Amino acid sequence: MKKFFSIPVILGILLLTASCTRNNAQRDFEQDAYTAPAGYTETTAQAEIISLDEDDWRTSPLFQGLINIVPAIPNPVSTNQSVQIDVELTGVNSVNGLEVLVRYPDNSFGTLYQNFETLNPGITTFFINPLELGLDGSPEAARGLKRIFIFDGNSQMISYGDIMVE
């Protein structure tokens, strides 16, 4: 007895499989993001990359091809400088806002930047005061390796990276 599958059924199965794979990849990406920071991409104030940490500033599977995160400039940074992060949007109306957070040593989070408007194609630049990377805003609390998280306005993780404050 022959069994026939319709094209819509086959397409549905393929779509479901692709969706599960993408969800698994996103879950794995987020698990990597929530591990302790273990290195950083070293950059100059002129945006030259001195050494690259392969785990920093990767784009999540949900946003591949839509957005590119430029590593923090400069990195490392002193407490009296500011850190620049450039977000390059390549898709039209593909990212609905940005929210940037830091994870403190007590595992709480602080908000560094928020913009809940749909991003326009091109580069969006924001600046971080390194003192905001410490729980109490003091230079002592700010120093060390800090993990930064970038989310869209719907709380979907876009990227993460580490900043060394000296």
Calculate the average pLDDT of the chain.
88
105-127 pLDDT, tens digit per residue, is 999 999 999 998 888 899 999 99
User: What's the structural domain count of the chain?
Assistant: 1
Mean pLDDT of 83-95: 87
Look at residue 100 and tell me if it is in a domain: yes
Query: Is the predicted pLDDT of residue 88 greater than 70, yes or no?
Result: yes
Per residue in 68-86, pLDDT (tens digit) is: 999 999 999 999 999 999 9
**pLDDT tens, position by position, 17-27:** 444 556 899 99
The whole domain housing 37 covers: 30-165
Can you give the CATH number for the domain in which 130 is found? 2.60.40.1930
Q: What is the value of pTM for the model shown? A: 0.84
CA distance 115 to 127: 13
CA dihedral angle for residue 97, residue 46, residue 102, residue 155, rounded to 10 degrees = 20
- Say if 10 falls within a structural domain: no
Is residue 3 included in any domain, yes or no?
Answer: no
Give a yes or no: residue 12 inside a domain: no
Residue 147 lies in a domain: yes
Residue 9 has pLDDT above 70, yes or no: no
